[in-house]
Amino acid sequence: MKLKVRRPVIRVPGFRFAGVACGIKQSGRRDVALIVSDVPATAVGVFTTNRVQAAPVRIGRERLRGGRVQVIVVNSGNANAFTGRAGLAAARSMTAVAARALGIDVRLVVPSSTGRIGVQLPREKLGRGILDAVAALAPGGFQSALDGIMTTDAFAKFGVDRVRLGRRDTTIAVLAKGAGMIAPNMATLLVYVLTDAAVTRPALRSALRAALPGSLNAIVVDGDMSTNDTVLVLANGVADNPPLTTSSRGYPAFAAAMAALLRRVARLVVKDGEGATRLVDIVVRGARTAREATRVADTIARSPLCKSAFCGGDPYAGRVVCAAGYSGARFDPDRIDVFLDDVPIVRRGIEVVGANERRANRVAARPEFTLTLDLHAGRATALRMASDLTVDYVRFNSDYRT
């Protein structure tokens, strides 16, 4: 679905941004983004768990070990994945160009790339683009940088919040991109969380870990896991609050703000799922174990039959129960209940759509609704946020070569 999202000017104290076009995208759109902190920022991150990892992910992992990051340099239009040694050299080179132009230690620069797989980066073009981006850096450049990280995204994904920490107002903002190759445990996502708060690394890591299960790790568009997924969190401390730890009074508010922002962009990614017309929250309750709850939610979220039915706006109880049945979870099919929002469509294993047809149809036709399964087999729960599978998804992905 195409969402009209107003794009306000967002500033995060101590950060400058730029987004420029260097010609990697044939469309001529912005394909280079630069995010620079005035001072080295405390940093944590998570990356794709795909065995095939893009060159910038491999370099980014190394750089992040130092715990401090000052520059994020991104290109879109080319993922620099599956490009061998030349790809690693290209990823290092993009950080070196940025470091030199900015006069910043290259070990504080993290690269990201997103776009087509299996094509070498055009190093010269990109080098010129990075220099242009350095020249364009500005505190108000947030939205330009956001343009520079987008690929097949139909709209920009971002958010901002303010948190009061030790008598200081601090800002926390997120820039994200992603639409296809969205599987649980990340996705083709680039997500950058930036704050001017001073936060210790353990507190930053703890807040990120707490936020992921209900946000970026719960989303499914097509179940394909990317080679390039990257989430980085940078806290530059220029707000000058007493450094936040997990036992600080302000920590819960800070962690809640980060979780809400990540949840917001996660939902936006699903809404922008390639070809998507609906966002379905799949809630599984009453499973024997958390693992089984997740398997049921995941199986439904990935099932082409269920996803096609979501698209059709039809209360498809049979397909949902069938998918739960082959998920591997242990439950008694004669006890399962299923709801669309609050409308029962299965009670104790019997389809009851008939009795509630009008209400069920009304829910299934909504752009967002919740599908709840209660297995009555235990106490574990799981959540997945899934898009539907549409004709446009297939049309798009049978034309676009990654």
**Catalytic center residues:** 188
Using the structure block, give the residue that is written with the tokens 């790790």.
217
Establish how many alpha carbons lie within 13 A of residue 226's alpha carbon, considering only the half-sphere containing its beta carbon. Answer: 33
Q: Look at residue 281 and give its three-state secondary structure.
A: strand
Stretch that binds a second copy, among 37-45, 179-187, 202-210, 281-289 (CB under 8 A): 179-187
Q: Does 51 interact with a second copy (rule: CB under 8 A)?
A: yes
Q: Which of 123, 351, 368, 376 is close enough to bind a second copy by CB under 8 A? A: 351
Residues numbered 140-159 forming contacts with a second copy, rule: CB under 8 A:
none
* Positions in 239-298 near a second copy (CB under 8 A): none
Measure the CA–CA gap between 15 and 149, rounded to whole angstroms.
17
Site size for a second copy, by CB under 8 A? 64
Check residue 81 for interaction with a second copy (CB under 8 A).
Answer: yes
Q: Which residue has the tokens 């929250």?
A: 281
Asked if 50 touches a second copy (CB under 8 A), the answer is yes
Among 308, 356, 361, 381, binds a second copy (CB under 8 A): 308
Kindly tell me which residue out of 100, 106, 214, 224 binds a second copy, with binding defined by CB under 8 A: 224
Give the x-and-dash track for 353-382 against a second copy (CB under 8 A): x-----------------------------
Beta strands in 48-132 (DSSP E): 68-78, 109-116
191 touching a second copy, by CB under 8 A: no
Backbone angles phi, psi at 89, to 5 degrees: -65, -40
First CA to last CA distance, the chain:
23
CA distance 255 to 209: 10
3-class DSSP assignment, residue 285: strand
Please state, in angstroms and rounded to a whole number, the distance separating the CA atoms of residues 244 and 250.
7
Give the residue, chosen from 324, 360, 382, 383, that forms a contact with a second copy under the rule CB under 8 A.
Answer: 324
Instruction: Single out the residue of 37, 114, 151, 390 in contact with a second copy (rule: CB under 8 A).
Output: 390
Which CB atom, from 138 or from 394, has the smaller least distance to a second copy? Answer: 394
